Structures are given as structure tokens and as C-alpha cells.
Structure 1
Amino acid sequence: MGILPVSPRHHVWWGVGMALRTLTLGLVGVSALAGCASVAGSAAGNLADDLSAAILNQDDPELVRDNLPAYLLLLDSLAANPDAGPAVLGAAARLYAAYAIAFVDDPGRAATLAGRARAYGTRAACAANRRTCDLEGLPFADFTARLDRVKPGQAGALFSYAVGSLAYVRTHSDDWQAIADLPKIEAVLTRLLVIGDAADAGTVNTYLGILNTLRPPALGGQPEVGRSYFEKAVELTGGRDLSVLVEYARGYARLVYDRELHDSLLNRVLVADPRQSGYTLLNTLAQRQAAELLASANDYF
């Protein structure tokens, strides 16, 4: 069997991009609509909760795609306020990241929208903690020193910063400076394992699994570290989030050329019931990707 040639840069693009295609959607209802609710009061909060559930439990991704732009415009209007807080700014970052990666096929437009995601994430981090203002351009040691001073109450904004930054990397795969920021994004995610919300822990572990399996060991990758993150993500989500299994197969099993594990994980996705509370949308997309990966397996391995 032939092995598809994959350059380091292409592998970074593929891993980050395909991961965000499913994973950022899991943040749409929970964070973006919650951001609206945080400024609109309890009645709107109840509506936001209902809309959140409707999005995450939707088994028609195209229906979600066609209706998300209305929320983008709503968040733009709220974020235009100079006093906009981290909840609104973080919601805008996550929703723009999800929309740009999951639903926009035009590369130029996706890059523009992801740029907005990163800008909103940067503003969210700054609004939450002045120590996380002006992070761009800092040497790595100074960057991590600032992260060490971020408290649990500011973790949500930091997570939004990471999601916006990852979306930007995905849509600027020819920009080595953007790719060079991946170690900083990994440092943010590692910090979130310590201070982050337990509800986000599965996603954080999955992202870390992806980042550690972007490259083979000879180029600095750490596949076994990545595998441990994937296993932890499966444990934390109880196996209900099928996108974790897809990323495990795509990131780890393909990197180490473990065909048996690869097919086992993906077949597990295909036979699972996608209708799981809070995961139906993710799982519907994950099953589509699992079928595509299995179809290409003979060419890869």
C-alpha cells in the first residue's frame, strides 16, 4: 500500500483545520448564545439556553450553516460597544471561528472571518485580564509567564483566544509566522487544563491531542503524548462525542500507521447512535468524516 506524502506544513493545515471543523461547532450554542444571554437578562438567557440546545442537538448541519450568520451580526453589534466584556467578545470569537472553518469554502473569505475570530479572542483575553493584553509578539517565556497569572475566572476568555487563534492558523496555512504561534496556543491549552471549566476539558484535551500529533517524532511530534490526551478526552466525554474518536484516528492512528486502530475507531463512530444530548450536531459531522477517512484508508496505509 502507498503512503500519501504529507509535508509538515500540509499536516499542520490538515490537523488543525479538520479538527476545528467539528470541534468549534460544539462551542457555538454553549458559548456564543450564552454570551448574548449575559448581556440581555434572564428572559433572554432562557431563550439562549433553548437555542443552544436546538443547535447542538440538530442533525442537519446545513440548516445550522444557513442560520448562523444572523448570530454573527448580532454579536458584531454587541461587540461594537467599547465596553463589551469578555463573555460577548469570547462568544464572537468562537462563533466566527466555527462558521469560518465549518461552513465557508472560499479560502479568502474564510481567512477574513477567522481573522475576526482571532481579533475578538484577543479582545476577550484583554478584557478579562490586563495581563493578557498585547500577547502577540511576546517571547515565549514572557508569554507563558503571563499565562501563569491567569485565574480560573478568566479561563473562558482564554479559551476563546485559543479557538480564534487556531482558526486563524488553519486559514493562513501558508504563513509560517502563523504556524510558529502553535507552541503558544498549546501553552494556552495546557494552562486551561489547570484553570479551565470542567465542561471544556474534553475539548481542551482533544485539541492537545491534535497539536501533539501534527508531526512525526523526527520533526518534533509526540504521538504517545497525543494519544494520552485523546484517551483522556474519550474518558471525559464518556464516548458520546464522536468527533474525539475521529480526531484520534486521524491524528494518532494515521501518524503511526496503525491501520487496525484507525479502522476500529472509525467503525465505532459509524455504528454509534449520533443522537446524544449536546453532541448530535458534532456527531453527525463526525460520522461523515469517519466515512471519508475509511474510504481513503487503502490509499493512505
Structure 2
Amino acid sequence: MPRFSIILSAFLLLLSSGCATLGNRMATTLTNAILNNNDLEMVEVGAPAYLLLIDGLTQQAPKNANLAFTSAQLYSAYGTAFSSTPERHRILADKAYAFAKTGICLKINTLCSVQKMPFKEFEAQINQTKLNQTHEIYILGQAWVNWIQAHSDDWNAIAEIAKVRIIMEQVVRLNETHDSGGAHLYLGGLATLLPPSLGGQPELGRQHFEKAIQLSEGKNLLIKVTYAEQYARLMFDRTLHDKLLNEVISQPAIAPQLTLINTFAKKRAKKLLASADEYF
């Protein structure tokens, strides 16, 4: 039997004996190992084995909300960094979103049918969430944004942007510092998806990006890359575009929980700079 199969069998045996906390620790440890790694190639090749392990853990503990949320984060991070084709992105985004919906249903049962829930009812339920539920609704919003991006050719998916905005606005109200201002990053991205003529709000997006940079103390490099790609390009602001991307390239990638994403951001920044002459 391959070594990975032996390890997987051992952990599943322990989980089936009731050691669900081991599953939580294992999933968290694996996620941290991936998110804190700056070798994109190694993570791309090695992480699928961890994803299979996470799948096994969640199957053995289907009512473990924390494990479901950790799985959603891991699939979202991997899909964002390594989706080689639109179809691959959809598969990984679907998995992440499914895990997030499972987790939210286990933690906040009034949100069990978020996709099918009428908008007004959904808004009311989200607005009733408390400070200690910030993390749960934030992960749902994260996975949902990723899912919408993966299904951007489907107008039914695009229509769900309004629900994600409600989630992230509530996160800001409850605790805007959560995930170092991550909700502001998502709100900035949502506001700059479209030009003003089609309903976009680029100046509102700019404010969210600036706040996200402030709250993350500039450590999350993906914020500046998204700011450059979605706002500066939308507004044809070459000076801001190049400034942000050059700052990303000059900054170190290593930061707790951000190393993988920062390494990806630096790679993306170089590509955007290389195509700037053609775009502008």
C-alpha cells in the first residue's frame, strides 16, 4: 500500500473512533503548512494529496463545522493560486463553496439554504448574526465570491453578488479588522467588477482597497494586485497601476498565513506589469 494510503487510513481510523479534534488539528496544520509555503511549484504538485486527506477527514466527521470551514479555505486558496483552466477552477470552487455551506448550516442553522433564500429574508438573517459568528459568515462569503468568479459566464451566478456584498458589509460592521481587513478587499473587488456605466462603483472600491491595505499593514500583497488590476486598469490610471505592482514586487512574500498568496501575488504583479504597455 502506498505510504499516503497508510497515513490516510490511520487518521480515518482515529476519527472513526471519535477523535474529531484530531481531524480539526490535522486540517489546520495542513492548511497552515500550505498557506505558509513560498514554493508555488511544490505546493501545486503536493497539495492535491492533502486535499484528498481533507476529503477523507470530512467524510468521517460530516457534522464537524470547523473541519468543513477549514476545507473550504484550503480548496479556495488552492483553486485561486493553481487553477489552470476554467473547468478546473469551477471544480475546486464548487468544492470550497459546498464545504462552506455545510459549515454555515451546522453553525447557524437559519442560514442552511443561503442560495435559495429570498433576498430580503437572507439580508435579515445575515444582519442578525453576532460578533462571535464573524468568522463563519466571512468564510461563506469568501467561498461564495470564488464560486461566482468560477461561474462568471452564468448570469444566475452573477446575480448572487448582492448576497455576498451583504455578507461582507456585515463582517465590516461586526469587526472590520477580521482577517486583517479581508472583507474590505472583497467589497473593493465587488465594487470594481463593472465600469460606472454598467453599475460599477470604482471610487467606493478604491476606498475599500485603501482600507484593506491599512488594516493588513500592507502585508497582504494580493490587495495591491487586485487594486491595480480591477481599479487602476478600470480607470486607466497607469501611474497608480505601476506604483502598486512595483511595491508588491519589492516587498517580501513571507508573512504568517499569507506566504503562498503573496508569492502568487508577486508572480501576478510581474505579469500585469509586463502587459501594461499593451493595455494602456
Asked if TM exceeds 0.5, the reply is yes
Which aligned pairs between 1:46-57 and structure 2 lie closer than 5 A? Answer: 51=30, 53-57=32-36
Q: Tell me the equivalent position of 1:180.
A: 159
Q: 1:256 to 1:269 in 2, by over 3 A?
A: same
Which aligned pairs between 1:50-69 and structure 2 lie closer than 5 A? Answer: 51=30, 53-69=32-48
Q: Tell me the equivalent position of 1:89.
A: 68
Mapped partners of 1:54, 1:165: distance in 2: 24
Mapped partners of 1:95, 1:278: distance in 2: 11
- Paired amino acid for 1:108: E
Q: 1:78 to 1:147 in 2, by over 3 A?
A: same
User: Does residue 211 of structure 1 match 2:181?
Assistant: no
Mapped partners of 1:269, 1:136: distance in 2: 36
User: Does residue 248 of structure 1 match 2:227?
Assistant: yes
Q: Which whole-Å deviations, capped at 9, do the CAs of 1:36-87 have from their partners, x for residues lacking one?
A: 9x94359x84x77665554333221111122222332232223224652321
Q: Could you state the TM-score of these two structures normalised by the residue count of structure 1?
A: 0.79
User: Does residue 273 of structure 1 match 2:252?
Assistant: yes
User: Does residue 169 of structure 1 match 2:148?
Assistant: yes
- Paired amino acid for 1:124: G
- Paired amino acid for 1:167: N
Q: Could you state the TM-score of these two structures normalised by the residue count of structure 2?
A: 0.85
Extract unaligned runs of 5+ from structure 1. 1-35
Please report how far the alpha carbon of residue 196 of structure 1 lies from its aligned counterpart in structure 2 after TM superposition.
Answer: 4.7
Q: Tell me the equivalent position of 2:21.
A: 40
Q: Tell me the equivalent position of 2:3.
A: none
8 Å Cα contact 1:234-1:245 kept in structure 2: yes
Q: 1:139 to 1:52 in 2, by over 3 A?
A: closer
Give the 3-state SS of the residue equivalent to 2:87 in structure 1: helix
Q: Tell me the equivalent position of 2:116.
A: 137
Please report how far the alpha carbon of residue 254 of structure 1 lies from its aligned counterpart in structure 2 after TM superposition.
Answer: 0.9
Give the 3-state SS of the residue equivalent to 1:255 in structure 2: coil
Extract unaligned runs of 5+ from structure 2. 1-14
8 Å Cα contact 1:78-1:84 kept in structure 2: no
Higher relative contact order (CA 8 A, sep 6+): 1
Mapped partners of 1:69, 1:252: distance in 2: 33
Q: Tell me the equivalent position of 1:232.
A: 211
Mapped partners of 1:80, 1:50: distance in 2: 18
Q: Which whole-Å deviations, capped at 9, do the CAs of 1:63-114 have from their partners, x for residues lacking one?
A: 1122222332232223224652321111122222222332232333332232
Please report how far the alpha carbon of residue 245 of structure 1 lies from its aligned counterpart in structure 2 after TM superposition.
Answer: 0.9
- Paired amino acid for 2:93: A
Please report how far the alpha carbon of residue 265 of structure 1 lies from its aligned counterpart in structure 2 after TM superposition.
Answer: 0.9
8 Å Cα contact 1:253-1:262 kept in structure 2: yes
Of the candidates 76, 83, 101, which is equivalent to residue 80 of structure 2? 101
Q: Percent identity?
A: 38
Give the 3-state SS of the residue equivalent to 1:80 in structure 2: helix
Aligned-residue RMSD, C-alpha: 2.4
User: Does residue 286 of structure 1 match 2:265?
Assistant: yes
